[in-house]
Amino acid sequence: MLSVSGLCVFYGRAQVLFDLNAEVPRGRVVALMGRNGAGKSTTMKAIMGLLPVAAGRVAFEGREITGLDPYRIARLGIGYVPEDRRVFPDMTVDENLEVGRRPLPEGAGLDAPAWDREAIYTLFPNLRELRARGAGQTSGGEQQMLALARTLMGNPRLLLLDEPSEGLAPVIVQQMARAIQRLKRQGLTVLLSEQNLRFAHAVADEAVVIEKGRVRFAGSIQELEADETLKRAYLAV
């Protein structure tokens, strides 16, 4: 569904991604793994069009999207949840959802349900109680839920989830994992970046491990789980 090939990205003169390749098949959950600074968030942002791509291409459902404006990429059906959540703090939870709302593109909706507020509040019941509260006045976990919910309102077919478990209490991490599993059962394709192997193991089918902007491993999550040297070299802290 998403195909990244030969991706190179620079911050100024410093190269951060080197010839990065990754595939996200339809209906699968792929974990992009690696330590801090490995280039996970950069990859996400580059796919979303938030960073300029120096070389390589990104294709979504066979269509090249490299160099498109972020809003066009979003409208094609890619939803992005940033690592720092970036909810609109001075707007209510409900208004945040409104910003994310997009009508379902024609002919789509076969592999994902159409989201509306009701469906969102069923998936995240505690957001319903907070709907009139300013997003800036909610907890970190609630903001993470809101950021995901807001993106779902755009009815994406592919979800880019940047570090969904980062900085959250264990209870919330579990809720997050359950939410992702449910989305996957509903047929949503997900690329998530993650440092935590346990979380990745709970939700992902496949893993791509990167270090210093280069791919070191691509395969099933079980393979990664079994390979101690790989884990020690690229994931252990």
Partner 1 sequence: MSLVVVQFLTGLASASSLFLVACGLSIIFGVTRIVNFAHGSLYMLGIYVAYSTAERLMPLLGGAGFWLALPAAALLVGLIGAAMEVTVLRRLYRSHELFQLLATFGVVLIVDDIALAIWGPADLLGPRAPGFDGSIAILGSKIPEYDLVLIVLGPLVLGLLWLLFRRTRWGTLVRAATQDREMAGALGVDQKKLFTAVVFLGAFLAGLGGAMQLPREAANLGMDLNIIAEAFVVTVVGGMGSIGGAFLAALLVAELNAFGILVFPEISIVLLFLVMAVVLVLRPQGLLGKAEQAQHATHGEAEPTLAPGGRAMTAAGLLLVAALAALPTLAGGYLLGVASEILILALFAASLQFIMGVGGMISFGHAAYLGLGAYAAAILTRELGAPMEGALLAAPLAGGLGALAFGWFCVRLSGVYLAMLTLAFAQIAWSVAFQWTEVTGGDNGILGVWPSHWADSAARFYWLTLALVAAAVALLRRAVFAPFGYALRAGRDSPRRAQAVGIAVRRQQWLGFTLAGVFAGLAGGLYAFLKGSVFPDVMAIPMSVDGLVMVLLGGVQTLAGPLVGAAVYDGLKAELVTRTEFWRIIVGCVIVLLCVAFPRGLVGNLKALWQSRRGVEG
* Cα distances (angstroms) measured from residue 128 to each of 122, 138, 165, 223: 8, 13, 21, 40
Report in angstroms how near the CB of residue 153 gets to partner 1 at its nearest. 8
In whole angstroms, what is the distance from residue 84 CA to residue 68 CA?
23
Residue 129 CB, nearest approach to partner 1 (Å): 21
CB of 157 to partner 1, least distance (A): 13
DSSP class of residue 135 equals G
Judging by beta carbons within 10 Å of its beta carbon (0-12, 13-18, 19+), is residue 119 exposed, middle or buried?
Answer: middle
Query: Please, what is the minimum distance in Å from the beta carbon of residue 182 to partner 1?
Result: 22
- Of the candidates 151, 170, 150, the one whose C-alpha atom is nearest the C-alpha of residue 160 is 151
Footprint of partner 1 on this chain (CB under 8 A)?
Answer: 11-13, 48, 50-51, 69-71, 74-75, 80, 82, 86, 88-91, 95-96, 98-100, 102, 150-151, 154
Phi, psi of 138 (to 5 degrees): -105, 165
Contact 168, 103 (CB under 8 A): no
User: Judged by CB, which is closer to partner 1: 114, or 236?
Assistant: 114
Nearer to partner 1 by C-beta: 145 or 200?
Answer: 145
Q: Is 166 exposed, middle or buried (0-12, 13-18, 19+ CB in 10 A)?
A: middle
Q: Which is nearer to partner 1, 191 or 200 (CB)?
A: 191
- Amino acid found at 6: G
CB of 100 to partner 1, least distance (A): 5
- 74 vs 188 by CB, closer to partner 1: 74
Nearer to partner 1, 150 or 157 (CB): 150
